[in-house]
């Protein structure tokens, strides 16, 4: 230790100053990659997993605020009257101010997520980063959440990563590379950050990009416990794929849009998302199949984009087998979709 101190004191002051500036101004994604935070779970070759107190509290309050009238707070019977009043007050504020917004699309909620990922449990968000009223609600609810919920939620967040660790490591390169090949888009170089939460959103997962940051429920069966075995794993690969496939600037999105315009078709605005489900789900299905494990795609088991499924499955079959181009697959899919609409009463 003495030797270490001597080395520090012999280091030029200007160099120490530069190091301090660099370390304290690193973006959240870069500092997170260091893996020194208490919220850090572990890293694989392509992913970095976290269980962050403030992210979990924020999503818990958001989801509780969306419960139906008369539906009790999760674990509410375990709370004292004073504790119930504290956390229910925060939930009411979320219901009034935030619950009607989109965790994925709302600029303020995007900012909140980015800010909270850089804050550990022992720290507090600052009012210049989050609205003062919002900050007050998070602080008011933190003690009750920490006492009655956090231990269980944090344990589940870490356990689901541990349960899937070996399979993630075995499959991540093949699955992500297959999705990239199908989407004709490269993955960014940085690790994909995944924050595990007891409550993600109504769908159980969502992802923002630039940088890629997914929030994923730690419930193996999803929010309603309906996901098939392998469903959680599929969402782990599906969500970051939004960075490769979107309706506006991606190869898939542009080709679908241009082809629809050429054919004079409309009403297929979410077709790109159905294709994303097909690509990511099939990539997982193929990789699991190599291990002798069967997997039903989430879009099938959960009836997601069922109106698109026949056209998408048929139209992209040859492309996914390496026997057709993406342009041809898009045209065939849109033509099949148009024919199906015309044939329906």
Residue 240 has pLDDT above 50, yes or no: yes
Residue 251 has pLDDT above 90, yes or no: yes
Contacts of 257 by beta carbon, 8 Å cutoff, 6+ apart = 247
pLDDT band for 259, please (50, 70, 90 cuts).
very high
pLDDT band for 281, please (50, 70, 90 cuts).
very high
243 DSSP assignment: G
CA atoms of 60 and 19, how far apart (whole Å): 37
> What does the pLDDT read at residue 71?
66
SS3 (DSSP) at 321: coil
Q: Are 34 and 153 in contact (CB under 8 A)?
A: no
pTM as predicted:
0.86
In 3D space, the residue among 280, 193, 284 whose CA is nearest the CA of residue 244 turns out to be 280
Residue 173 has pLDDT above 50, yes or no: yes
57: left (phi over 0), alpha (psi -120 to 50) or beta: alpha
For the chain, the domains span 44-218, 251-343
> What does the pLDDT read at residue 86?
92
- Strand (E) positions, the chain? 40-43, 47-50, 192-197, 205-208, 213-217
- What share of the chain has pLDDT > 90, as a percent? 73
CA atoms of 235 and 214, how far apart (whole Å): 10
> What does the pLDDT read at residue 341?
78
Tokens at residue 333, please? 């899919």
> pLDDT by residue (tens digit) across 59-81?
999 999 988 766 667 777 789 99
- Characterize the bridge pairing of strands 40-43 and 47-50: antiparallel
> pLDDT by residue (tens digit) across 98-114?
999 999 999 999 999 99
Q: Are 74 and 64 in contact (CB under 8 A)?
A: yes
pLDDT band for 3, please (50, 70, 90 cuts).
very low
What is the arithmetic mean of pLDDT over 314-332? Answer: 97
């Amino acid at each position: 230790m003495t030797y270490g101190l001597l080395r520090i004191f012999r280091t030029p002051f200007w160099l120490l100053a530069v190091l301090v500036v660099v370390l304290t101004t690193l973006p959240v994604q870069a500092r997170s990659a260091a893996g020194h935070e208490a919220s850090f779970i572990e890293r694989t070759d392509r992913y970095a997993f976290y269980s962050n107190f403030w992210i979990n509290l924020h999503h818990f309050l958001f989801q509780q605020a969306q419960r139906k009238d008369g539906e009790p707070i999760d674990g509410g019977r375990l709370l004292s009257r004073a504790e119930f009043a504290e956390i229910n007050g925060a939930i009411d504020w979320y219901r009034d101010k935030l619950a009607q917004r989109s965790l994925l699309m709302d600029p303020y909620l995007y900012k909140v997520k980015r800010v909270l990922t850089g804050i550990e449990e022992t720290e507090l968000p600052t009012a210049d980063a989050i609205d003062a009223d919002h900050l007050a609600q998070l602080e008011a609810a933190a003690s009750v959440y920490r006492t009655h919920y956090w231990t269980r939620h944090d344990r589940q967040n870490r356990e689901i990563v541990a349960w899937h660790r070996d399979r993630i490591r075995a499959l991540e390169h093949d699955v992500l590379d297959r999705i990239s090949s199908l989407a004709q888009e490269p993955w960014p170089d940085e690790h994909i950050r995944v924050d595990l939460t007891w409550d993600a959103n109504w769908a159980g997962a969502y992802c923002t990009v630039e940088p890629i940051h997914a929030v994923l429920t730690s419930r193996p069966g999803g929010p309603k416990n309906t996901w098939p075995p392998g469903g959680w794993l599929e969402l782990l690969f599906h969500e970051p794929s939004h960075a490769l496939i979107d309706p506006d600037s991606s190869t898939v999105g542009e080709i679908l849009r241009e082809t629809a315009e050429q054919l004079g078709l409309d009403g297929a605005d979410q077709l790109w998302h159905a294709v994303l489900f097909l690509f990511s789900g099939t990539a997982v299905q193929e990789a699991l199949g190599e291990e002798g494990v069967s997997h039903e795609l989430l879009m099938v088991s959960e009836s997601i984009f069922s109106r698109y499924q026949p056209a998408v499955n048929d139209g992209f079959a040859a492309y996914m087998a390496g026997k057709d181009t993406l342009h041809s697959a898009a045209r065939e899919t849109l033509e099949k979709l148009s024919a199906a609409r015309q044939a329906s009463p």
